């Protein structure tokens, strides 16, 4: 009497594996080249691309992104006028863990570190021979090189949708913390004079700001490399 049940269990197991074999296995087993279109519409605009590389354990992968931008191709006219010489570099490193996969795509959790640098050149009143930030011998207008260095940590989740055997669409969102350091790269130990302005949004006065809450939201367009594999 046990043989029919045993045969049935073996048949069900074989059917399950046969169905699973048709699911795409390339999302987290093949390298994926990605672009991030929304960074072109950021105030600190960049052309950004990256690659996702699977680890030996197929549940995990590492994604590395790099981006470069200049205000000469910023979509916001006010940015081009106010910061005509601004350059931006953006780097993002991410460790992913896939928790689900089906015929439509795969879901994941991720831990991410982001670094962004702005380089600015502009005319500023710079305090000379300062004993402290409020007492300077005199101020001199000169071209000043500023560096804005931002670090951020995010916990994210997302889903990669399969668009075709080669292409996918990767939506993500996450929360975290970020901090900012602004440095005068022209003359050390000198003070910059700036008009009164809110320091909670894009400050450009030398100092350290944060940590502050951070939101990460967007999508990648991906192209799978290597042969398409199924198991």
Domain boundaries, the chain: 25-224
CA dist 187 and 112 (Å) reads 34
Structure letter (DSSP) for residue 227? -
CA dist 184 and 128 (Å) reads 13
Name every residue whose Cβ is closer than 8 Å to that of residue 97 and which is 6 or more positions away in sequence.
59, 60, 108, 109, 110
Strands 105-132 and 47-54: unpaired
pLDDT reported for residue 186: 73
Residue 125 has pLDDT above 70, yes or no: no
3-state secondary structure of 107: strand
CATH 1.10.10 fits 25-224, yes or no: no
Q: In 22-166, at which residue ranges do the beta strands (DSSP E only) sit?
A: 32-35, 47-54, 60-70, 87-102, 105-132, 135-162
pLDDT reported for residue 133: 57
Query: Confidence band (pLDDT; 50, 70, 90) for 68?
Result: very high
Residue 129 has pLDDT above 80, yes or no: no
For the four alpha carbons of 3, 5, 6 and 10, in that order, the dihedral sign comes to positive
């Amino acid at each position: 009497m046990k043989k029919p049940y045993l045969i049935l269990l073996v048949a069900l197991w074989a059917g399950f594996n046969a169905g699973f074999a048709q699911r795409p296995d390339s999302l987290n087993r093949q390298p994926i080249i990605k672009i991030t279109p929304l960074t072109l519409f950021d105030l600190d605009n960049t052309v950004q691309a990256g690659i996702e590389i699977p680890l030996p354990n197929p549940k995990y992968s590492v994604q590395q992104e790099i981006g470069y931008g200049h205000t000469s191709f910023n979509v916001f006219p006010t940015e081009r006028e106010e910061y005509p010489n601004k350059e931006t570099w953006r780097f993002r490193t991410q460790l992913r863990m896939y928790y689900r996969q089906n015929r439509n795509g795969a879901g994941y959790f991720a831990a991410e570190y982001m670094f962004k640098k702005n380089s600015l050149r502009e005319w500023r009143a710079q305090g000379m021979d300062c004993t402290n930030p409020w007492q300077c011998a005199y101020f001199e207008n000169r071209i000043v090189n500023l560096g804005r260095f931002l670090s951020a940590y995010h916990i994210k989740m997302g889903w990669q949708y399969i668009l075709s055997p080669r292409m996918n669409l990767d939506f993500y969102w996450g929360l975290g913390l970020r901090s900012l350091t602004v440095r005068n790269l022209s003359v050390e130990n000198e003070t910059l004079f700036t008009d009164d302005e809110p320091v909670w949004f894009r400050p450009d006065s030398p100092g350290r700001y944060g940590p502050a809450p951070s939101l990460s939201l967007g999508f990648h367009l991906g192209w799978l490399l290597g042969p398409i594999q199924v198991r």
